[in-house]
């Protein structure tokens, strides 16, 4: 019976190992399917049926207007902000504070728009306002006071540039962490890794600017401000990934992908304007770094550096908090290692003791062996010329 059990045990162990291996494989594939479905649901929910949800449009009446601004009929998904004059309303649109403004005139109204705010958005606003005004019997002319640049007629260049910088940020830190390994766990190693991340961010931003400006001619005329914006965007994505992996390990990379891609891309405002997203997506857009990166690049590239305060604040908070997390965890690990070293026993079994040497003859020609080390003979130790007798010490128990 004992022999039979011994023969069956290897087979049972092999079967259990195979079951565990298959279970891990099934779990990984299930996670991939969940991510796939979440990706489809997130992007489809945001992009499949975009409609005006919360667009703010300026409203001002000219001195010659035959009706007050308050008499303008409301438009679904649009809220009017009354401004003191057509000039003030136009300036708000030109600076990027508003995507459009309706100027009430004597015989016709004028809708001034900023195409650089998003072609999809201003087109939807134009169609909705024109339809409503047509029902009231008022003709509407549309004037674009901030058009998109000729090299980027649909405004996708800024969106794709930011997405590339974001992907490069978390991918770069993922690879850097793998290369650095345990060397990046100490305080010094963490500081070196962060320095490498900063250099990588500047290099990545510079190459992106070279690609879209002189090489492709998509976003031209603002190389230095785009370099600064790109450096901050890449560094924020890089350092956020480092903080997440420091906190939770490998799952931190998954969290970063969810933040930057699964939720960040649909709420970025690049493919679908934020004003045309549902309330949940709009809420996320105000929190996530991808949308902040889009706002920063658009502010520099299209609006002469206006409307960049909020994007700068959001990206700076992400970068600053992540830096504190990375350095704080490195200090914590260093203190834990120092504490463990200080409390560890200095010897394995206690102090060492010595014993006198014993030989079959005299220990030496001059006297007994020293207690501090092995005996050395100045003469024959056991009657054989030239032989020395080493006496080992005993470690006390």
2 confidence band (pLDDT: 50, 70, 90): low
Question: How confident is the model over 84-94, as a mean pLDDT?
Answer: 95
Contact 62, 40 (CB under 8 A): no
Closest CA to 96 of 305, 286, 311, 276: 305
Give per-residue pLDDT as tens, 168-186. 999 999 999 888 887 777 8
Contact 199, 206 (CB under 8 A): no
End-to-end Cα spacing for the chain: 44
3-state secondary structure of 77: coil
Please enumerate in sequence order all residues whose Cβ is within 8 A of that of 218, keeping only pairs 6 or more positions apart, or say none: 149, 151, 152, 157, 161, 212
Give per-residue pLDDT as tens, 320-337. 999 999 999 989 988 888
In this structure, the number of other CB atoms found within 10 A of the CB of residue 126 comes to 16
For residues 121 and 143, give the distance between their C-alpha atoms in angstroms, rounded to a whole number.
15
Closest CA to 54 of 282, 271, 266: 282
Lowest mean pLDDT among 132-141, 234-243, 255-264, 365-374: 365-374
Residue 378 is predicted with a pLDDT of 38
| Interstrand relation of 100-104 and 55-61 (parallel, antiparallel or unpaired) | parallel
| Interstrand relation of 55-61 and 78-82 (parallel, antiparallel or unpaired) | parallel
Residue 91 is predicted with a pLDDT of 96
| Interstrand relation of 352-353 and 394-395 (parallel, antiparallel or unpaired) | antiparallel
Q: Which residues of 240-266 are buried (b: 16+ CB within 10 A; e: fewer)?
A: bbbbbbbeeeeebbebbbebbbbbbbb
Give per-residue pLDDT as tens, 246-298. 999 888 999 999 999 999 999 999 889 999 999 899 999 999 999 999 999 99
Task: Pick from 15-19, 102-106, 345-349, 368-372 the range whose average pLDDT is largest.
Answer: 102-106
Contact 196, 173 (CB under 8 A): no
347 confidence band (pLDDT: 50, 70, 90): very low
3-state secondary structure of 55: strand
What predicted TM-score, i.e. pTM, was given to this entire model? 0.80
Residue 49 is predicted with a pLDDT of 82
* Average pLDDT value for the chain: 84
Residue 316 is predicted with a pLDDT of 97
């Amino acid at each position: 019976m004992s022999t039979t059990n011994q023969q069956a045990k290897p087979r049972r162990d092999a079967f259990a190992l195979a079951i565990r291996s298959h279970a891990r494989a099934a779990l990984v594939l299930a996670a991939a399917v969940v991510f796939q479905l979440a990706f489809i649901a997130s992007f489809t929910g945001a992009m499949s049926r975009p409609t005006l949800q919360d667009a703010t449009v300026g409203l001002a009446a000219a001195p010659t207007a035959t009706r007050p601004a308050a008499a303008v009929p409301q438009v679904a998904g649009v809220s009017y902000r009354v401004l003191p004059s057509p000039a003030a309303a136009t300036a708000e649109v030109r600076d990027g504070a508003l995507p459009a403004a309706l100027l009430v005139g004597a015989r016709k109204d004028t809708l001034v728009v900023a195409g650089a705010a998003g072609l999809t958005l201003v087109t939807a606003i134009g169609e909705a306002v024109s339809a409503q005004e047509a029902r009231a019997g008022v003709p509407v002319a549309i004037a674009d006071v901030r058009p998109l640049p000729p090299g980027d007629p649909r405004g996708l260049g800024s969106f794709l540039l930011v997405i590339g910088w974001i992907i490069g940020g978390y991918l770069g830190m993922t690879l850097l962490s793998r290369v650095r390994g345990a060397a990046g766990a100490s305080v010094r190693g963490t500081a070196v890794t962060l320095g490498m991340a900063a250099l990588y961010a500047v290099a990545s931003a510079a190459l992106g600017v070279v690609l879209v400006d002189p090489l492709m001619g998509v976003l031209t005329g603002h190389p230095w401000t785009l370099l600064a914006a790109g450096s901050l965007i890449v560094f924020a994505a890089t350092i956020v990934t480092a903080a997440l992996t420091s906190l939770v390990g490998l799952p931190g990379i998954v969290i970063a992908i969810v933040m930057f891609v699964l939720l960040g891309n649909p709420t970025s405002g690049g493919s679908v304007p934020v004003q045309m997203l549902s309330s949940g997506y709009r809420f996320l857009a105000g929190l996530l770094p991808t949308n902040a990166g889009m706002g920063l690049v658009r502010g520099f590239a299209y609006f002469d550096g206006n409307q960049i305060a909020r994007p700068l604040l959001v990206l700076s908070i992400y970068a600053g908090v992540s830096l504190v997390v990375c350095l704080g965890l490195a200090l914590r690990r260093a203190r834990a290692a120092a504490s463990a070293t200080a409390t560890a026993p200095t010897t394995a079994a206690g102090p060492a003791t010595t014993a006198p040497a014993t030989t079959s003859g005299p220990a030496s020609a001059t006297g007994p062996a020293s207690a501090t080390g092995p005996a050395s003979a100045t003469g024959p130790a056991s009657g054989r010329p030239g032989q020395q007798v080493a006496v080992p010490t005993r470690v006390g128990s």
